[in-house]
């Protein structure tokens, strides 16, 4: 069966293969990492470990899938870490006062989605710098989380809510399914809808997009709305996994999300990205954490490796994408 | 695009097949000699303590992989208190390996993030950990780790600070009563200023159990004392430079009315003391908790009056001492409290390394 | 033996990967000569210039400058040696003053200290500026200058560096007629000072106006040199394209129908009270100086800039246009003058570029039907003879002419009633230019109303059924094709109207 697949790949025309290599060259790095880790660490090969890598990357995965829309449309969203914390606090308040999981999830995601809209509207309407706006919003949102919670974390005793993060279907935790579902949605949205095209066009050349009749304001705003929505979803999973409403979580999570996008071939100047590439980026980051833990390598090295890999990915991007 | 998807799919399938395959082999080969017997043993551990002595090696082998592995999930590896604590753990765990009590141990850095700790636990379990030593990042957020350990039947030692479910689920807790630390600080300032006064309070990261309990201790004593008034209370988030910022603002606002400053860690109190000294308030007591090198050094030099020493090394040392007993199925107490010590010029020499 | 030439290139070859960009070419420049380089895009002119200023290294061949072998490793060394290049796209530092810009990297410093001596720098700059009769002072910020003035500063800078050879790449591409005339005066002054100018341009009439000699390149090979005296443009074009071009402007007469598009009393930033109409099948040429309001009017009609006053009628019905989206939906398409900024997403595929404005009309379902999209894009790009490896190629990989055809493709697919073309052949080589002109005639024959803005008078006169002439934001006259063909209206007449004459 594997043979058949391979033949298909070799059966690509030269152009198709070049495009493939250009877009997914990073996949080779992932595969090499997987092979090396499988050789070096017996634990890595276990089914249990494959599942836990998937679980570990699910939160960052969802965040990165939101972030990739923002970066591709030429922006950046630094507020997602703070949104995680706000989601957690809101879930805690709603769940502890109403007991309704549905309300807790809907309200918290609605709030982060609305905050995404605020981010986007400020940036697209007044042409402010995304970096500055979302940096400021990060402070506002995190502050709001502290204000709402009074700075205290609250345990969530609701056993059903806990199942969102801890429940399993056929041995695979729910967060993994949620992540994959978000990935499928993101893939369809980015590669198969008009909206996806507009994201690429706005990020690639905002003036040309406008002159081609693209509604630049809404396209940019919606990219932030998507990022806000994803932060809400990731926040719910995170809250469920630690079964606590915690206002101080999510610090620095934007870094990993951005890193996953960049490693996955997303151009920081906008207009170039793929969802499969982003998924590879997410998995590579998961492999760094998991692999190094399994090999007993100090966590400081994880950080260094991640940084070097980002630089490597950007260089790869420059050599393959923009030569010419 | 489709071709790519096909490739990844194929890859994932091959990998998972390989993974499942290898696991199955493991199970079938090892099941007869270990897995079956081992479960009964742990369940019946208390009654068959004597029997355990003869085959202590395999008794604690929860997952039946023929190895005893300890997963050590640190809170972090960067702040000074935890760095020294981790160092002690390293030495003691290495010693256990040398003695042959355990086969391996894994150091896992929680980076002060409960979600990372949850993820690390999964890694530890995958690596075949039979016992977990946990230094929780958060009281609420790190609690699910204990639940997972219980599910897997893996004993879990909680060190330094408690999770919300420690009393219920931990095999044992070794730590110190942070309320005691708060009370000791409050009592110390009462003794230095018998006529009472006004103080500023720099808290740790809000929501952290040490913060909650130390604050509680301070308020227990000083709220009950009518001679004392709290001017302000702010969170310095365990960060010295934030603490100094608040302290300097307070000094500017209240001047000599500010009698003393109580911090919840002595990284902060040492920095605050240095700042106050430089502004001519060498008389001011700035006190904190932990017993970090910087604070001890200042006390030795007479630049600072006191700090509350938290015996982190003692905590983790005690926890690791419990490991052989737990592995061999002996019952251990649920909770061990290591006392805080008031450090002043009189006894500082004993605590400087 | 003393050579007659200041700069001689002999037997230069250069290959990039498998492509031979230059093979055994030569170039001989005399002192004080204005020497034109002619050739279609990709003929090797730019490569040769880049070798001369040290950006590329020749694979073989020899360059002799002022009698000595010459070899440099970059523009800085070339400038030091006495050769400067004025690039087509100027990138000034916007927040430097003219003086700082001229003396960048060779600032005057006070004795013994490395502090800047701004006074001295400014004084020196003023001196040079006044020699050239430059209208602005040395302390003016670069960002406050017009494009023509920035270019002039570049030339002045080159002269102040004691350049004996100045290379000008398409220097008039963003200048209007008046500015071009001023540039020519400067070039003549340079000539008198004994400076040689290598002049690269696609505009034949300019070459006849200013140059002494011309060297023609084709496909990386040197075709020949001619003295401008006694050579005809027909001859040069046939040297360039390797065939004789009978008619540069392939305008075909087609029947002109009803009024499709009409505007009344349009006003906005840079234009006032503009009224005109276009009929089906008609090509309406618009002429005027850069900044006279011609592009501004069209941008406002297309919804890129706001209108303050006026009415727009499409097929007799009044319409309002809030933005490009509206304009496209109603059947108005616009090819912008700046292709890279407004025309294309350079790092996306041709397919995505072509279908971008057409998605709302052609893809009504939630998901894009990529198969149909591919087919449609392939058809239209084939129809417009876009030369490419396939519609999945990125737009940046194409030459200027082909990029322009992609822009035309996307608007043709939008099936417009009115097509506005702003400088449709700017930066396009001669072959593609003529192809684009042919396409325009075909569109007109299909019943499209076409509005074409061009700074090249021969193009406007050769292609239009009617010409509107702008002067300082207002219309200053209209001429018909009949008048042009009758010989009553010449370039001089139109130019005079552009300058405000009646």
pLDDT above 80: residue C297: yes
Tell me the nearest-neighbour CA distance from B141 into chain A, angstroms.
Answer: 4
Q: What is the CATH number of the domain that holds B209?
A: 3.40.50.2300
For the structural domain made of C248-331+418-502, what CATH number should be given? 3.40.50.300
Average of per-residue pLDDT across C182-195: 90
B109: nearest CB among A154, A276, A299? A299
| Residue B35 belongs to a domain | no
Chains in contact with C, where contact requires at least 3 CB pairs less than 8 Å apart: A
Mean pLDDT of chain C: 87
Q: What is the pLDDT of residues C354-372, one digit of tens each?
A: 999 999 888 888 899 999 9
Does one domain contain both B84 and B161?
Answer: yes
Strand partners, A266: none
Contact A9 B3 (CB under 8 A): yes
Q: Is there a shared CATH topology between the C5-92+145-241 domain and the C248-331+418-502 domain?
A: yes
Residues of chain A contacting residue B3, judged by C-beta atoms under 8 Å apart: 8-9, 12, 20
Tokens 């979803």 belong to: A233
A201 and C CB contact within 8 Å: yes
Confidence of residue A210 (pLDDT cuts 50, 70, 90): very high
Indicate the range of A46-50, C162-166, C427-431 predicted with least confidence: C427-431
Q: Which residue of C has its CA nearest to A215?
A: C325
Contact A244 B114 (CB under 8 A): yes
Contact C367 A192 (CB under 8 A): yes
A152: nearest CB among B8, B144, B206? B206
Contact A15 C343 (CB under 8 A): no
Tell me the nearest-neighbour CA distance from A305 into chain C, angstroms.
Answer: 30
Residues of chain A contacting residue C397, judged by C-beta atoms under 8 Å apart: 324
Q: Which residue of A has its CA nearest to B3?
A: A9
pLDDT above 70: residue B6: no
Does one domain contain both B166 and B107?
Answer: yes
A194: nearest CB among C304, C346, C368? C368
Confidence of residue B15 (pLDDT cuts 50, 70, 90): very low
Question: What's the pTM value of the predicted model, to 2 decimals?
Answer: 0.76
Q: What is the pLDDT of residues B20-55, one digit of tens each?
A: 434 333 333 333 344 334 444 444 444 434 333 434
Does one domain contain both B182 and B304?
Answer: yes
Q: Which residue has the higher pLDDT, C83 or C220?
A: C83
Structural domain span for residue B137:
67-174+314-338
Predicted confidence at residue C36, as pLDDT, reads: 93
pLDDT above 90: residue C288: no
Strands B197-203 and B260-263: parallel
A56 and B CB contact within 8 Å: yes
What DSSP string describes B23-79? HHHHHHHHIIIIIHHHHHHHHTTTTTHHHHHHTHHHHT-TT-SS--EEEEEES-SSS
Does one domain contain both B232 and B259?
Answer: yes
Q: For chain A, how long is the longest CA-to-CA vector?
A: 61
Q: Cite the beta strand spans of C269-384 per DSSP E.
A: 271-279, 283-287, 307-314, 317-319, 332-335
User: Residue A170 class from Cβ within 10 Å (0-12 exposed, 13-18 middle, 19+ buried)?
Assistant: exposed
pLDDT above 60: residue A185: yes
Contact C360 A213 (CB under 8 A): yes
Q: How many CB atoms lie within 10 A of CB B309?
A: 26
Cα distance between residue C166 and residue C12, in whole Å: 20
C14 near C59, Cβ under 8 Å? yes
Predicted confidence at residue C138, as pLDDT, reads: 87
Does one domain contain both B103 and B76?
Answer: yes
Q: Which residue of A has its CA nearest to B126?
A: A49
Residues of chain C contacting residue A207, judged by C-beta atoms under 8 Å apart: 341-342
B interface test, pick of A1, A152, A242, A252 with most B CB neighbours within 10 Å: A242
Does one domain contain both B104 and B210?
Answer: no
Indicate the range of A165-179, C104-118, C142-156 predicted with least confidence: C104-118
Does one domain contain both B267 and B236?
Answer: yes
Average of per-residue pLDDT across C154-175: 87
pLDDT above 70: residue B147: yes
Tell me the nearest-neighbour CA distance from C394 into chain A, angstroms.
Answer: 10
A215 and C CB contact within 8 Å: yes
Cα distance between residue C240 and residue C43, in whole Å: 9
Name the nearest CA neighbour of B335 among B140, B166, B143, B131: B166
Average of per-residue pLDDT across C308-329: 93
pLDDT above 90: residue A8: no
Torsion of CA A140, A143, A144, A148, to 10 degrees: 180
Does one domain contain both B154 and B195?
Answer: no
Residues of chain B contacting residue A153, judged by C-beta atoms under 8 Å apart: 138-141, 207
**What share of residues in chain C are helix, strand, coil (percent, to 5)?**
35, 25, 35
pLDDT above 70: residue B58: no
A interface test, pick of B114, B128, B142, B154 with most A CB neighbours within 10 Å: B114
Average of per-residue pLDDT across C304-328: 93
Q: Which residue has the higher pLDDT, A10 or C201?
A: C201
Q: What is the pLDDT of residues B313-336, one digit of tens each?
A: 899 999 999 999 999 888 899 999
Q: Which residue has the higher pLDDT, A1 or A309?
A: A309
Mean pLDDT of chain B: 83
Report domain extents, chain C.
5-92+145-241, 248-331+418-502
Contact B109 A289 (CB under 8 A): no
Contact A188 C367 (CB under 8 A): yes
Strand partners, C333: C419
pLDDT above 60: residue A1: no
Average of per-residue pLDDT across C334-349: 89
pLDDT above 60: residue A3: no
Q: What is the pLDDT of residues C23-55, one digit of tens each?
A: 899 999 999 999 999 877 667 888 899 999 998
Does one domain contain both B212 and B297?
Answer: yes
Predicted confidence at residue A2, as pLDDT, reads: 40
B304 near B298, Cβ under 8 Å? yes
Q: ∠ at Cα C293 (C287, C299), nearest 5°? A: 100
Cα distance between residue C337 and residue C142, in whole Å: 23
Which two three-digit tokens encode residue C465?
A: 């059924």
Length, in residues, of chain A: 324
Q: How many CB atoms lie within 10 A of CB B1?
A: 16
A294 and B CB contact within 8 Å: yes
- CATH 3.40.50.300 matches C5-92+145-241: yes
Cα distance between residue B191 and residue B185, in whole Å: 10
Predicted confidence at residue A24, as pLDDT, reads: 65
CA distances from B319 to B132, B287, C187 (A): 11, 28, 89
Confidence of residue B263 (pLDDT cuts 50, 70, 90): very high
Contact C355 A215 (CB under 8 A): no
Q: Which of residues 305-344 of B touch A (CB under 8 A)?
A: none
Predicted confidence at residue B57, as pLDDT, reads: 45
Which percentage of chain C shows pLDDT scores above 90?
41
Q: How many CB atoms lie within 10 A of CB C364?
A: 9
Confidence of residue A90 (pLDDT cuts 50, 70, 90): very high
Confidence of residue C146 (pLDDT cuts 50, 70, 90): confident
Q: Which of A25-29, A126-130, C483-487 has the highest mean pLDDT?
A: A126-130
Instruction: Kindly indicate whether the ipTM for this predicted assembly is greater than 0.85, answering yes or no.
Output: no
Q: Which residues contact A273 (CB under 8 A, 6 or more apart)?
A: A68, A71, A72, A190, A200, A261, A264, A265, A266, A267
Measured in whole angstroms, how far is the alpha carbon of residue A40 from the centre of its chain?
A: 29
Confidence of residue B260 (pLDDT cuts 50, 70, 90): very high
Predicted confidence at residue C427, as pLDDT, reads: 75
Contact B207 A248 (CB under 8 A): yes
Q: Which of residues 157-196 of B touch A (CB under 8 A)?
A: 164
| Residue B51 belongs to a domain | no
Q: What is the pLDDT of residues C403-449, one digit of tens each?
A: 999 999 999 998 899 999 999 988 787 778 888 999 999 999 999 99
CA distances from C412 to A168, A206, B276, C394 (A): 54, 21, 76, 20
B140: nearest CB among A165, A244, A290? A244
Domain count, chain B: 2
Does one domain contain both B298 and B321?
Answer: no
Contact C346 A205 (CB under 8 A): yes
């Amino acid at each position: 069966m594997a043979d058949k697949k391979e033949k298909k790949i070799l059966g690509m025309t030269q152009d198709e293969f070049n495009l493939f290599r250009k877009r997914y060259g990073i996949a080779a790095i992932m595969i090499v990492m997987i092979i090396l880790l499988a050789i070096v660490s017996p634990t890595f090969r276990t089914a249990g470990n494959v599942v836990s890598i998937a679980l570990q990357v699910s939160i960052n995965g969802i965040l990165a899938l939101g972030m990739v829309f923002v970066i591709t449309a030429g922006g950046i969203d630094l507020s997602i870490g703070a949104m995680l914390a706000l989601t957690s606090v809101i879930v805690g308040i709603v769940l502890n006062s109403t007991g309704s999981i549905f309300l807790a999830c809907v309200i918290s995601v609605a709030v982060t989605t609305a905050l995404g809209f605020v981010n986007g509207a400020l940036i697209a309407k007044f042409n402010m710098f995304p970096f500055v706006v979302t940096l400021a919003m990060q402070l506002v949102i995190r502050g709001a989380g502290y204000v709402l919670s009074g700075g205290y974390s609250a345990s969530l005793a609701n056993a059903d809510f806990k199942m969102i993060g801890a429940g399993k279907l056929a041995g695979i935790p729910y967060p993994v399914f949620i992540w994959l579902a978000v990935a499928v949605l993101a893939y369809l949205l980015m590669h198969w809808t008009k909206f996806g095209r507009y994201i690429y066009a706005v990020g690639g050349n905002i003036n040309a997009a406008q002159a081609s009749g693209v509604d630049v304001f809404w396209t940019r705003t919606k990219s932030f709305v998507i990022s806000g929505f994803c932060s809400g979803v990731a926040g719910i999973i995170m809250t469920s996994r630690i079964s606590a409403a915690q206002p101080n979580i999510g610090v620095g999570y934007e870094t990993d999300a951005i890193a996953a996008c960049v490693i996955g071939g997303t151009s920081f100047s906008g207009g170039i990205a793929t969802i499969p590439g982003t998924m590879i980026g997410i998995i590579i980051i998961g492999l760094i954490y998991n692999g190094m833990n399994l090999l007993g390598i100090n966590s400081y090295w994880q950080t260094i490796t991640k940084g070097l890999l980002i630089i490597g990915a950007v260089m790869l991007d420059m050599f393959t994408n923009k030569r010419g | 695009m489709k071709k790519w998807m096909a490739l990844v799919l194929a890859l994932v399938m091959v990998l998972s097949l390989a993974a499942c395959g290898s696991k199955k082999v493991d199970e079938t080969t090892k099941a007869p000699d270990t897995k079956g017997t081992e479960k009964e043993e742990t369940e019946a551990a208390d009654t068959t303590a004597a029997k355990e002595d003869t085959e202590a090696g395999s008794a604690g082998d929860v997952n039946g992989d023929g190895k005893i592995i300890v997963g050590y999930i640190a809170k972090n590896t960067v702040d000074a208190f935890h760095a020294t604590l981790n160092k002690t753990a390293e030495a003691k765990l290495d010693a256990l390996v040398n003695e042959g009590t355990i086969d391996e141990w894994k150091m896992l850095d929680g980076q002060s993030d409960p979600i990372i700790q949850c993820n690390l636990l999964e890694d530890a379990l995958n690596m075949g950990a039979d016992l977990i030593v946990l230094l929780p990042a958060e009281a609420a957020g790190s609690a699910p780790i204990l639940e997972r350990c219980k599910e897997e039947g893996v004993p879990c030692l909680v060190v330094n600070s408690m999770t919300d479910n420690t009393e219920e689920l931990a095999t044992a807790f070794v730590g110190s009563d942070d309320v005691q630390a708060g009370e000791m600080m409050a009592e110390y300032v009462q003794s230095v200023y018998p006529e009472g006064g006004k103080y500023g309070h720099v808290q740790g990261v809000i929501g952290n159990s040490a913060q909650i309990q130390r604050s509680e201790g301070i308020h227990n004593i000083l709220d009950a004392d009518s001679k004392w008034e709290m001017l302000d209370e702010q969170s310095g988030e365990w960060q010295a430079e934030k603490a100094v910022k608040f302290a300097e603002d307070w000094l500017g606002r209240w001047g000599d009315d500010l009698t003393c400053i109580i911090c919840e860690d002595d990284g902060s109190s040492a920095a605050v003391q240095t700042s106050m000294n430089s502004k001519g308030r060498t008389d001011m007591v700035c006190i904190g908790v932990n017993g970090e090198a910087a604070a001890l050094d200042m006390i030795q030099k007479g630049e600072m009056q006191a700090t509350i020493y938290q015996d982190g090394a003692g905590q983790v040392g005690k926890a690791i001492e419990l490991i052989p007993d737990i592995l061999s199925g002996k019952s251990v107490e649920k909770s061990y409290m290591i006392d805080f010590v008031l450090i002043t010029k009189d006894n500082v020499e004993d605590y400087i390394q | 033996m003393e050579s007659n030439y200041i700069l001689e290139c002999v037997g230069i070859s250069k290959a990039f990967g498998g492509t031979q960009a230059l093979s055994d070419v030569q170039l001989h420049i005399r002192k004080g000569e204005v020497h034109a380089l002619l050739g279609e895009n990709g003929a090797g002119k730019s490569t040769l210039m880049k070798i001369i200023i040290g950006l590329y290294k020749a694979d073989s061949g020899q360059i002799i400058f002022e009698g000595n072998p010459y070899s440099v490793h970059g523009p800085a060394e070339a400038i030091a040696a006495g050769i400067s290049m004025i690039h087509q796209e100027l990138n000034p530092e916007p927040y430097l003053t003219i003086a700082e810009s001229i003396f960048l990297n060779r600032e005057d410093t006070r004795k013994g200290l490395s502090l800047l001596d701004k006074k001295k720098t400014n004084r020196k700059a003023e001196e040079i500026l006044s020699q050239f009769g430059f209208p602005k002072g040395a302390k003016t910020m670069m960002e406050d200058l017009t494009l023509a003035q920035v270019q002039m500063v570049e030339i002045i800078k080159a002269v102040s560096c004691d350049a004996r050879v100045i290379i000008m790449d398409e220097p008039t591409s963003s200048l209007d007629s008046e500015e071009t005339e001023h540039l020519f005066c400067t070039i003549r002054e340079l000539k008198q000072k004994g400076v040689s100018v290598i002049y690269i341009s696609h505009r034949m009439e300019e070459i006849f106006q200013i140059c002494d000699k011309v060297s023609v390149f084709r496909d990386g090979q040197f075709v020949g040199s001619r003295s401008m005296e006694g050579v005809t443009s027909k001859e040069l074009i046939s040297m360039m394209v390797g065939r004789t071009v009978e008619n540069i402007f392939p305008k075909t007469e087609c029947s002109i129908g009803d009024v499709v598009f009409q505007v009344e009393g349009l006003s906005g930033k840079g234009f006032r009270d503009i009224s005109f109409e276009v009929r089906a099948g008609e090509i309406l040429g618009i002429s005027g100086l850069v900044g006279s309001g011609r592009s501004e009017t069209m941008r406002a009609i297309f919804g890129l800039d706001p209108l303050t006053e006026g009415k727009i009628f499409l097929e007799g019905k009044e319409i309002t246009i809030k933005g490009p989206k509206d304009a496209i939906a109603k059947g108005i398409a616009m090819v912008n003058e700046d292709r890279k900024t407004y025309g294309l997403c350079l790092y996306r595929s041709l397919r995505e570029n072509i279908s971008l404005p057409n998605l709302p009309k052609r893809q009504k379902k939630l998901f894009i039907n990529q198969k149909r999209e591919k087919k449609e894009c392939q058809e239209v790009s084939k129809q417009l003879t876009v030369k490419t490896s396939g519609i999945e190629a990125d737009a940046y990989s194409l030459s200027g002419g082909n990029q322009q055809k992609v822009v035309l493709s996307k608007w043709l697919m939008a099936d417009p009633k009115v097509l506005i073309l702003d400088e449709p052949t700017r930066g396009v080589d001669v072959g593609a230019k003529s192809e684009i002109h042919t396409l325009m005639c075909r569109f007109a024959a299909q019943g499209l109303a076409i509005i074409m803005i061009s700074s090249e008078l021969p193009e406007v006169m050769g292609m239009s059924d009617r010409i509107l002439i702008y002067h300082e934001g207002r219309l200053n006259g209209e001429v018909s094709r009949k008048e042009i063909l009758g010989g009553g209206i010449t370039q001089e007449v139109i130019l005079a109207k552009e300058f405000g004459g009646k």
